[in-house]
Amino acid sequence: MGGRGPPRPAAPRLPAPALLPLLAALAAGAAEARATSEGQLPGAAAMGTGTPPSPSGTAFEETRLHVFTLDYPHVQIPFEITLWILLASLAKIGFHLYHKLPSIVPESCLLILVGLLLGGIIFGAEEKSPPVMNSDVFFLYLLPPIVLDAGYFMPTRLFFENFGTIFWYAVVGTLWNAIGIGISLYGICQISAFGLTDITLLQNLLFGSLISAVDPVAVLAVFENIHVNEQLYILVFGESLLNDAITVVLYNLFKSFCQMRTIKVIDIFAGIANFFIVGIGGVLIGILLGFVAAFTTRFTHKIRVIEPLFVFLYSYLSYITAEMFHLSGIMAITACAMTMNKYVEENVSQKSYTTIKYFMKMLSSVSETLIFIFMGVSTVGKNHEWNWAFVSFTLLFCLIWRALGVFVLTQIINVFRTIPLTFKDQFIIAYGGLRGAICFSLVFLLPPAVFPRKKLFITAVIVVIFFTVFIQLSAKPANQNNEFTFIIIVFYFSSQGITIRPLVEFLDVKRSNKKQPAVSEEIYNRFFDHVKTGIEDVCGHWGHNFWRDKFKKFDNKYLRRLLIRENQPKSSIVSLYKKLEIKHAIEMAESGMISKVPSSVSLRGLITFNYVSSTDVLTNLQQCGGKHVQHIGHHAFQAVTVAFPFQTMSYNRHSLAADASEKQAKEILIRRRHSLRESLRKTNSLSRERPAAANTKRFLSLPKNTKLPEKLRVRNKTSSRVGDSSDSELDAATTVLNLRPRAGKILRDQRLRQQRPLPEFRVEWKNEVDGSQDGRGEQQDPSTLTQPSIGFRQPLLTRPRFGTLSREDLTADHGSARPMPPPRLVREASQGDRQRNKPENQLY
C-alpha cells in the first residue's frame, strides 16, 4: 500500500546501481557540508563562495547590505534532515525502478547496503567515523511511526484470537532467549583463550536481553514482502511488538544491576513487578488515549481538515507519555492505535480517512527506510572491536536458542491451541526472529563507563542483525590499532532476509491470499461468528467467541454510543458495504478521468451525474459542440472538470471545498445503488417467471457503451435538474414528463424489433453519430436504438464485480467486463426470444 507499490508499468528499467552514484554524491555533499560547518565556529559561518560575513566585533565597521549571503548554519539541521529523508526516499524509488530487484533481495537489505556505501564514502572523505544513529532520534522519532502504522492496520481479530500464543512467545520466549544467550555466552567468556574473561555474567545477561529483542521493523519489512499466511504473520509480528515490554524491562533491570554493587533478592522481585507495570501501564496509557482520540474525533465534523492530525497527535502522545514513565512506548502506541482505529474510522470523513491511511504509510515507510540506511551508515566506523569467538558464538547462540525456544514453547502451547502449529510453522517462526534496529539502538545506549567492551557488543549486535536481516556483511578494522583502512568482508552466507522467501516457498508454507475485501466475505464472517457463538452457547461453553460476543454487545451498548457521532450503531457489514461503494464510485470517476478518450459511458456518467446543477457548465458543454460526439464529449468533459472548481471553490484554510469528485462519487453511488437494485429485481423476477426470457434483461439496462445523442443529453440534464439529486432521478416529476411516453414507445419499438431480425442494425450502430444528431425526432426509427438510454435507468453497475481496482476498470471499459456489449447483443436479440407476451408492468 501507500508508498510500497512499485511503480512498475511505466517505469523505465533503470538498474538501481545507476542511481547510486547520484545518491552517494548527494549524501557526500551533505556530509561534507556538515563537516565544514562543524569545523568552524558557529559565528563565522560561511561556506563556499558566499560573501564572507563581516566580523562584527568592531563597532566602527558598518555592516553593508549584502546582495547575496549564504548562511548555512542557520538552516543546517533542517537542511540535513531534509537531505537525508530525500536521499532515503530516492533510494527507495531507485530500487523499484528496476522491478526485479525487490523480488530477489528484500528492500531492507538494499537499504542497508546503500547505508554502508554512504558510510564508506563519508568515512573515506572525512577520515573519521560517520555519525552513528542517535538512539534518541531512533526511539523518539523513527520508531513511533512504524509501530503506529503496524498497530493501526493490525488485524485486530486475528491478533486477539492468537493472543495467548503471542503473549507466550513474547514473554517466555524473550526471557528464555535472553537468559539462555546470556548464560551460554558467559560460559564462552570463561574460556581464557578467547580473551573475554573480563565480561561478567551480568554484562552477558544484559547483552543477551538486548540481542533477543525481535524487531518489528525488520519483521515487517521482510514478512510483508513474502506474504506468509496471516496466522504466521501475526504470530511473529505480534511477538515482536509485545516483546518490547519485556526487552525494555530486562534491559533496564540488567543495566541497573550492572551499575549496582550488590543485588538483593528484593531487586529481582522489583524487576518482575516492574515488568507488569511497564507492560500493563503502557497498554493502559494507550487505551486511554485511544479512547480520548476517538472521543475527540466525534466533534471534528465542522473542521474536517484537522481530523487526521488527532490520530497522529494522540498516538504520539501515548508513546512519549509512556516513555516518560519508562513504560513500554511501543505497547502504548500499539494499544492506542488499535483502540482508536475502529471508532475514528467511522467518525472521520472518507477523505480524512484516506489521508490518515496515506500519511501513516508514508511516515512509516520513510522512517523504515531511514532506519535501515542509518544502520548501514553507522556500521562503518571505528567503533568496532572484532573478536571471532564472541561474535560467532553470539550468532550461534542466537540461532540455537531461538530455535530451541520456539520448539519447546510450541510444544507446550500446542496443547492449548485448537489448531496446533505445525513443524513448518515453528520453523518459520524461529527463522523469522529477525533482529533489527531496536537492539542496534539499545547497544549504543550502553554507558561505556560500565561496559568497557561496549565496542565488542556493538560489533556482535551488528553482525547478528546483518546476519538475520541479510547477507552478512561487516566492517572489520584491519587491526585493533584503528587503522583507517577497513575491509568489507562479504560473507555470502545464506542469511535469513534473503533466504526466507525461497525457504517459505520450499516448505510450501501456506501463503496468504490477499484480495479485495468483499461484502459477501464480511457477511460470511459475521454469519460465521454468530454460528460459532450460537454453537458455543448450545454446548454451554465460554470460549473466544463468547467473549467476543460479550465485547461486541458492550461495545454497541456503551462505547459506540459515547465515541461515535451518530448514535446509530452500525454493523460492520453496513460500514464495509458503504466503504466499498464509495470506493468503487470514486474509482469509476477516476477511471473515467484517466482514460484518454473517455468511453462515452464514463463520460456521460460524469457529466450527467455531476455537474448538472451548474448552468455554466451546461453552456460550456454546448459551446463545445463539434463534429464528433466522442470529441465533444471529451472536450466537454474537460471543460466541465476545469470549469467546475472555479465556480465553487473559494480559498479557505479551514475547510476544503466539497470538491467535485466527492459529490460525484455520492451521485454515482446513489445511482448505482438504485440501478443495482432495479436490475437485480428485474432479472430476478423475470427469471423466475420465465427463465428463457433472460434476453429481455438487456432492455432493462442499457448497454454500457451506447452513445447518447449530444443534444438529448443536454436536454435531459436541464430537465432533470430537480430530480437529479434525488435517489430515483427518473421518477422525479420533470423527467417523467419527458420520458415516460418516450420510454413506452421505445419499449414497444424494441419488442417490434425483436420480432423481425434486422440486418441493418450493425450498420446503424456504426453511424449512430449521425443518427444521434437528430435527437428526439428519430425515435421511431430503429436506428436510434440508443435512445432508450434515457428512458431506462442505466445500471451503473452493469459489470458485476465492483470491488476491483481501477486498473481493471480501465481495461474493462472496452469490452470484456461489460455485461452487454451492444452490437453483439442486438444480433443476439434479433435471433433470441420473440415472445411478445411480456407484461409491461414488469418494467415499471
Partner 1 sequence: MGSAHSVPAEMRELADRTGFTSEQIEHLHRRFKQLSQDQLTIRKENFDSIPDLEFNPIRGKIVHAFFDKRNLRQESDGLADEINFEDFLTIMSYFRPIEMNMDEEQLERFRKEKLKFLFHMYDSDHDGKITLQEYRNVVEELLSGNPHLEKESARSIADGAMMEAASICVGQMGPDQVYEGITFEDFLKMWQGIDIETKMHVRFLNVDTIAHCY
The minimum distance between CB 779 and partner 1, in angstroms, equals: 23
119-134 in b/e burial notation, b at 16+ Cβ within 10 A? bbbbbeeeeebbebbe
Site for partner 1, residues 220 to 279, rule: CB under 8 A: 229, 231
Residue from 663, 797, 809, 813 that binds partner 1 (CB under 8 A)?
797
The minimum distance between CB 832 and partner 1, in angstroms, equals: 7
In the numeric block, the cell 544467550 is attached to 181
Under rule CB under 8 A, residue 817 binds partner 1: yes
Residue 489, helix vs strand vs coil: strand
The minimum distance between CB 497 and partner 1, in angstroms, equals: 27
Name the nearest CA neighbour of 143 among 244, 19, 55.
Answer: 244
| Contact by Cβ (8 Å): 760, 779 | no
Under rule CB under 8 A, residue 46 binds partner 1: no
In whole angstroms, give the CA distance from residue 609 to residue 602: 10
For the chain, report the end-to-end CA distance as a whole number of angstroms.
Answer: 44
Under rule CB under 8 A, residue 666 binds partner 1: no
Stretches 148-156, 263-271, 293-301, 513-521: which one binds partner 1 (CB under 8 A)? Answer: 513-521
The minimum distance between CB 804 and partner 1, in angstroms, equals: 9
The minimum distance between CB 703 and partner 1, in angstroms, equals: 8
In whole angstroms, give the CA distance from residue 653 to residue 583: 26
Query: Which of 588/797 has CB closer to partner 1?
Result: 797
Residue from 271, 362, 803, 830 that binds partner 1 (CB under 8 A)?
803
Residue from 227, 357, 548, 570 that binds partner 1 (CB under 8 A)?
570
| Contact by Cβ (8 Å): 823, 703 | no
Under rule CB under 8 A, residue 722 binds partner 1: no
In whole angstroms, give the CA distance from residue 206 to residue 250: 7
Cβ within 8 Å of residue 348, ≥6 positions away: 297, 300, 304, 307, 308, 356
> Bridge-partner residues for 435, per DSSP?
214
Cell, residue 668: 454515482
The minimum distance between CB 466 and partner 1, in angstroms, equals: 35
Under rule CB under 8 A, residue 832 binds partner 1: yes
> Bridge-partner residues for 511, per DSSP?
228
Site for partner 1, residues 421 to 450, rule: CB under 8 A: 422
Under rule CB under 8 A, residue 190 binds partner 1: no
| Contact by Cβ (8 Å): 639, 620 | yes
Number of residues counted as binding partner 1 (CB under 8 A): 74
Under rule CB under 8 A, residue 420 binds partner 1: yes
Under rule CB under 8 A, residue 796 binds partner 1: no
The minimum distance between CB 235 and partner 1, in angstroms, equals: 13
CA distances from 167 to 52, 211, 523 (A): 62, 19, 30
Cell, residue 366: 520513510
SS3 content of the chain, % helix, strand, coil (to 5): 70, 0, 30
Under rule CB under 8 A, residue 816 binds partner 1: yes
Stretches 98-106, 371-379, 381-389, 521-529: which one binds partner 1 (CB under 8 A)? Answer: 521-529
Cβ within 8 Å of residue 568, ≥6 positions away: none
Site for partner 1, residues 528 to 557, rule: CB under 8 A: 528, 530-543, 545-546, 549, 553
Under rule CB under 8 A, residue 419 binds partner 1: yes
Residue from 13, 261, 302, 515 that binds partner 1 (CB under 8 A)?
515
Under rule CB under 8 A, residue 731 binds partner 1: no
Stretches 109-117, 284-292, 525-533, 614-622: which one binds partner 1 (CB under 8 A)? Answer: 525-533
How many CA atoms does the CB half-sphere of 534 hold within 13 Å? 6
Name the nearest CA neighbour of 710 among 638, 616, 607.
Answer: 607
Site for partner 1, residues 679 to 718, rule: CB under 8 A: 680, 683-684, 686-687, 691, 694-695, 697-698
**Rg, C-alpha atoms of the chain:** 33
| Contact by Cβ (8 Å): 668, 790 | no
Query: Which of 203/679 has CB closer to partner 1?
Result: 679
The minimum distance between CB 810 and partner 1, in angstroms, equals: 16
Helices and strands (H, E) in the chain, number of each type: 37, 2
Under rule CB under 8 A, residue 508 binds partner 1: no
Under rule CB under 8 A, residue 519 binds partner 1: yes
Under rule CB under 8 A, residue 507 binds partner 1: no
The minimum distance between CB 499 and partner 1, in angstroms, equals: 26
The minimum distance between CB 233 and partner 1, in angstroms, equals: 13
Residue 487, helix vs strand vs coil: strand
The minimum distance between CB 698 and partner 1, in angstroms, equals: 6
Residue from 503, 577, 731, 778 that binds partner 1 (CB under 8 A)?
577
Helix intervals (H) in 298-387: 307-324, 329-347, 350-379
Under rule CB under 8 A, residue 574 binds partner 1: yes
Cell, residue 243: 516483546
